[in-house]
Amino acid sequence: MQKAFTIISFILLVLNYSIFAQKSRIDSIKREIQKANTNTIQIDLHTELAKTYRRSNTDSAIIYANKGIQLAQNIKDTIRLSLLYNQLGNIYKNRSDFEKAIQYHLQALDLRKKINHQKGIAQSLNNIGVTNFVQNNFDLAMDYYFQSLKIKERLKDTLAMSYSYNNIATVYNIQKKYNKALEYFSKSLIIKKKYNDISGQSFCYSNIANSYRELGEYSLASQNYKKALIIKQNIDDAYGISKVLYNTGKLQLLIAEKQKGILKNQTINKAIANFVESNKLAKKYNFLNNQIAAIKHLSNAYEQKGEYKIALITLKKHILLKDSLFNIEKLSDVRSLEIKYEAAQQNLEIEKLKRKDLKRTKELEELTILKKRLTSLLILFITVIVIIIVYYQKIKKKNFTINKQHKTINNQYEEIKSQNEQLKIYHQDLEEKIKERTHQLQLEKERAERADNLKTSFLENLSHEIRTPLNAIVGFSSLLGDSNNDNDTKKRHIKQIQTASDSLLRMIETILQASKIQVGEYEIDASKFRLMELVETLIEQTNALLAEKPTIHFVLTMDKELREINLFFDKDALHHILLNFLENAVKYTKTGLIEFIITTNKEKQLLFFVNDTGIGIIENQIQNIFEPFQKIETKEELFRGMGVGLAISKGLADLIKAKIIVKSEVNKGSSFCLKLENTVLLV
């Protein structure tokens, strides 16, 4: 009997509940709040309710946001608390209470900074920027936009970056910095294309076109309006199509101002056609703002064409529409009050229903008094109910089995889908790795071929360079045996043999030194020596080289205080580098001046300059001259050498912590500077 009564009570409750089955989304959320058994669910539901009320009823939105804040503070849920502060900021922004809006956005920002929630920080900075933007504080808005963008770039959140680019570009447009606006709209467009965001692409094209129009780049503006229009037509965006059409018409009127005669009338007619089509779409879908803009510009077009009567009629239509928009806005305010009234009425209705529930409960209690009288009827009723329940249980069990199978199939489908996605990603990664590896192998192949060519060239040069002094030694040695030669002639031959021997010895030393540097066996040998002694040796060696080039003038310029100092340094390395500079200056200069300058900079670092008026070096070849086996050659002349001198000099400079600086201009000369950064100067 007790079970039967319980079943009857349940049926009555179900009947009562069915009255409210078709409630709105807001009522549904309110019921969910009542049922929620955890604080986090209640907070999320209050947040959702505040978001739903945000545009229609800001008073209710604030009430539910504050309830959510209280719950979040009680359980110290920082993330949800920051979301609610952010929601309150947006609500107050919609109410035009910008001071409170920024206050709550700053509170959200502080919380997110404490937990280092970078994505949330970027969102708060962007929201503060938007609030400043709607107050026309454009510089401040821009500062927050860039702070937000910087975080998004660090997080590599590309899609979020595109929204920041749009915000920044919009401010630049208002500030009439149209080139900067183009730069950021273009950046956003690239991202929208990457993510196949069609709607976003059309937005970028439209704004890019507006910027080009303001810059007077009418052809580029027209191209971008066309792209925007095609996309909006493809996605059936009636509002967007209407807007692009009247913007295209505005552009055509600007173009017509620079035209004359028939061509001008044709362009104005095109503009009129676009305004008419824009107005037609706006009227069909009740886009009142677009309709007002299209009719206003249509009036301007007729005026520009000289059809003043039509222009006046069209202008009157524009004024009527504008007045109607004002009335609609007033009606919107009235509707807002009506919504608030309806919300209050709904709350009263809920209270009434609760009272009805209490009344019915009392009625059920009274029914228990009469249950003995209704026993026979209840037994019959219970029997019917039991039959219904048994039948219902069978159907429920069958439905449960079907749902279980359906769920299993869905799980299998999702698993297969996931595996396909993984295979697709793996395939893409594999293709990228193959491409990358192929590219690396191609580069290695090219390097190997270049190295082989350089090696061949080096061996040919080496063969030639060794053969030349050896031929001289052999030739002059054979002449020494000629008894007809007098002593002066023999002395000249001996001198030639010595010169050739010295050349061969220097060549061998150069090869050995290059090998030591290459394998890392060169050891720095620092010692004390007079700088002037080294300079005198270099001058003597350079003058010997200049003996065959009398048209070259050699000049030494040296700071007076440096003539008496001593250095504690690797003398051989310093001598080799500077002699190489001087030898190259002599080699590549036919006539003119070679200047050897020794000085110091503000940091008291020694600087050695070798300047010449020789053939110079092509700018894009300057980096290559320090590579092994590289030689400077011209169409008119081939120069001796193995192509390792500057490579050795660079290697030695790196070892002694020195820096080589090269400046050169073709057919004007070159300047080689050696800067000693760690020199020990001894007075």
**How does residue 460 score in pLDDT terms, banded at 50, 70 and 90?**
low
The predicted model gives 625-652 an average pLDDT of 70
The predicted model gives 324-337 an average pLDDT of 44
Query: What are the tens digits of pLDDT across the range 38-66?
Result: 888 888 988 888 888 877 788 888 998 89
Lowest mean pLDDT among 98-107, 627-636, 643-652: 627-636
What's the pLDDT at 575? 93
Query: What are the tens digits of pLDDT across the range 276-304?
Result: 998 888 888 888 778 888 888 888 888 88
| Strand, coil or helix: 251 | helix
| Strand, coil or helix: 204 | helix
Residues 206, 225 contacting (CB under 8 angstroms)? yes
Q: How far, in Å, CA of 65 to CA of 60, rounded?
A: 9
pLDDT, the chain, mean: 80
Residues 131, 102 contacting (CB under 8 angstroms)? yes
Highest mean pLDDT among 75-84, 407-416, 425-434, 620-629: 75-84
Residue 165 CB partners (closer than 8 Å, separation 6+): 149, 184, 185, 187, 188, 191
DSSP state of 558: E
- Chain center to CA of 530: 57
Query: What are the tens digits of pLDDT across the range 563-615?
Result: 999 999 999 999 999 999 999 999 999 999 999 999 999 988 999 999 999 99
Residue 82 has pLDDT above 80, yes or no: yes
**How does residue 416 score in pLDDT terms, banded at 50, 70 and 90?**
confident
Residue 456 has pLDDT above 80, yes or no: no
What's the pLDDT at 395? 82
Residue 17 has pLDDT above 50, yes or no: no
**pTM as predicted:** 0.45
Q: How far, in Å, CA of 519 to CA of 468, rounded?
A: 29
Alpha carbon separation from 160 to 82, 121, 122 (Å, rounded): 19, 13, 9
Beta strands 566-570 and 669-676: pairing type? unpaired
Residue 557's beta-bridge partner residues? 597
Residues 457, 643 contacting (CB under 8 angstroms)? yes
Other C-beta atoms within 10 Å of 552: how many?
20
Helix (H) or strand (E) holding 665: strand 658-665
**How does residue 338 score in pLDDT terms, banded at 50, 70 and 90?**
very low
The predicted model gives 351-367 an average pLDDT of 69
Residue 189 has pLDDT above 60, yes or no: yes
What's the pLDDT at 104? 92
| Strand, coil or helix: 611 | strand
Highest mean pLDDT among 20-29, 105-114, 420-429: 105-114
The 3-state DSSP composition of the chain as helix, strand, coil percent (nearest 5) reads 75, 10, 15
Output phi, psi for 484, to 5 deg: -75, -15
Residue 105 has pLDDT above 70, yes or no: yes
Query: What are the tens digits of pLDDT across the range 518-546?
Result: 656 677 888 999 999 999 999 999 998 89
What's the pLDDT at 382? 85
**How does residue 444 score in pLDDT terms, banded at 50, 70 and 90?**
confident
Residues 547, 615 contacting (CB under 8 angstroms)? no
Helix (H) or strand (E) holding 670: strand 669-676
